[in-house]
Amino acid sequence: MMLKGLLALGLIGAGLLPAVPAAAAAPLDWKPCDQGPTIECARLTVPLDHANPRKGTTELFVARIPASDQAHKLGVLTFNPGGPGGAGASILEAGLGADLFGPELLKRFDVVSFDPRGTGQSSQLDCGPVLRPGVPVFPRTKHQYDAMVAASRELGKACLAKNGELMRHLDTRTAARDLDAIRAALGVEKLSYFGPSYGSYLGTTYAQLFPRRVDRMVLDGIVDHAQGSTRFVLSEAREMERGFDRLAAWCAATPECALHGKDVGKVYDAVVRKADRRPLTGGVNGDQIRMALPMFLPTLGDQAGPWSAFTSALAKASQGDGSGFVGGSYVGYPESAYTAVSCMDFPGEFRGYADVRARLALARAVAPRVGAAVEGWVMAASCSGWPIPPTNPWKPTPISDVPGVLILNNTHDPATPLDQAVSLHHQIRGSRLLVSDTYGHTSWFNSECARGHATTYFLTGKLPARGTTC
């Protein structure tokens, strides 16, 4: 759910949600960022616990690109780039706003984002890798399962000792309240919002908590909080298997592919089996190679780049050199906030080794080659022994009183399959679902048609006609 290079059950009725008080206004002191005067940066102090401000505070790094046509400005367009762990303000500060939004939106909106607590240049969380190298990820025995759980518990306890109350307040509902504190500090009554990947869940949560503070909202590459951990894994596994088949077909048709003329699937299977028996050069084992799949398969517009990198790494690995997978796998991935937020919102909820074995068998049944090598399993495995109970576990997010929300999804998105978007569409009354018949993670970055419809919606407030597709 992380947008690489920029950068997933109790029903609570919308009418039964507790009232959420408005965030206290705290004006932002904007100053030019390092990139120059067209990008402004600021810091905002917010409570660690919005329900109990006496517990202390934490700091958010915020950035904005002021609308180039202030006289005809439509408002504030906020965004979160995905993750968990995507640092949106740092993306703006790096000068990537033009690539993200284009001249029309930058002309009519102040574009604003923030690094969520624990990420980027906000209060930092640095506790070690998401999945520790050498620790079992897909346990084949009770002993391996116990080792996976113990590693998760050890990481969580060390992180808790180092970060205290920050660790206990990293869930998405807290991030949504931080976003509303930014709204208050900006002095506006409503926000528009763009949320790709995990950012779609942050946007959904904001709309549920603060429905009357939403102006225009586009959610893309949907993470549906209603599905639960097992469905989350199986849905991804099925679509990731199809993604692997697409990669193999691309390689067969592309002379520049490092494995052109070979059966990519058979090479992958042989390499993983070999690395399972004995780590390759660089200390890379089979699980590390498996967990490279959710890094490389869900492409953002450009398939040739990540698929070339993956097949080149696989070709080297077939000769015993695993170095191409070092730094390119969720095993060893250093973003601690990814795990910390996931454990609050997307827990694996394992009930012991028998449960894990059954889920792995289900994943192999729907995806014989990929199995459970998906982000849903990254989250479940890394949270298997987490010492802090989830504060926002799996449940639907029904919303009934927001303006029309535009939901985007591709027919073939390996990271956030279409069924999640369909489910969320039914949970948000009055929403409009626009499906793009294309491959890749998110429509905004893979479909010019979908991006055009979303841009028009942001500029006019009018949803695409029912039945519109790309």
Q: What is the pLDDT of residues 307-338, one digit of tens each?
A: 999 999 999 999 999 999 999 999 999 888 99
d(CA 361, CA 365): 6
- Identify the residue whose tokens are 């506006």: 188
pLDDT score for 130: 86
Between β-strands 191-196 and 214-220, what pairing exists: parallel, antiparallel or unpaired?
parallel
Mean pLDDT of the chain: 92
Our CA angle for 381, 442, 59, nearest 5°, is: 65
- 425 burial class (0-12, 13-18, 19+ CB within 10 angstroms)? buried
Instruction: Give 99's pLDDT tier (boundaries 50, 70, 90).
Output: confident
Convert the pLDDT of each residue in 253-276 to its tens digit.
Answer: 999 999 999 999 999 999 999 999
Which runs of consecutive H residues, i.e. helices, occur in 112-227? Answer: 142-163, 165-168, 172-186, 198-209
- Residue 17, pLDDT > 70, answer no
* Count of all residues that appear for the chain in the document: 470
pLDDT at 25: 55
Check if the beta carbon of residue 268 is closer than 8 Å to that of residue 369. Answer: yes
Tens-digit pLDDT profile for residues 22-44:
455 568 999 999 876 789 999 99
This prediction's pTM: 0.93
Give the separation between CA 80 and CA 57, rounded to whole angstroms: 22
Please list the residues that pair with 236 across neighbouring strands: none
Residue ranges of the chain that CATH labels 3.40.50.1820: 14-124+172-226+399-460
CA distance 40 to 413: 34
Q: Burial, 433: exposed, middle or buried (Cβ in 10 Å; 0-12, 13-18, 19+)?
A: buried
Count CA atoms closer than 13 A to 421's CA, side-chain side: 30
The pLDDT of residue 241 is 98
Q: Mean pLDDT across the stretch 219-240? A: 97
Q: What does the pLDDT read at residue 19? A: 36
pLDDT tens digits for range 409-448: 999 999 999 999 999 999 999 999 999 999 999 999 999 9
Q: In 3-state terms, what secondary structure has residue 84?
A: coil
Candidates 236, 350, 337, 220; CA nearest to 291 is 236
Label residue 438 exposed, middle or buried (CB < 10 Å: 0-12, 13-18, 19+).
Answer: middle
Single out the residue of 296, 19, 31, 288 nearest to residue 138, CA to CA.
Answer: 288
Asked whether the beta carbons of 69 and 108 are under 8 A apart, the reply is yes
CATH architecture of the domain covering 14-124+172-226+399-460:
3-Layer(aba) Sandwich (3.40)
User: HSE-up of 253 (CA within 13 Å, CB side)?
Assistant: 7
Residue with more model confidence, 353 or 127: 353
Q: Which amino acid is at 221?
A: G
Rg of the chain over all Cα atoms, to the nearest angstrom: 22
DSSP-derived letter for residue 21 is: P
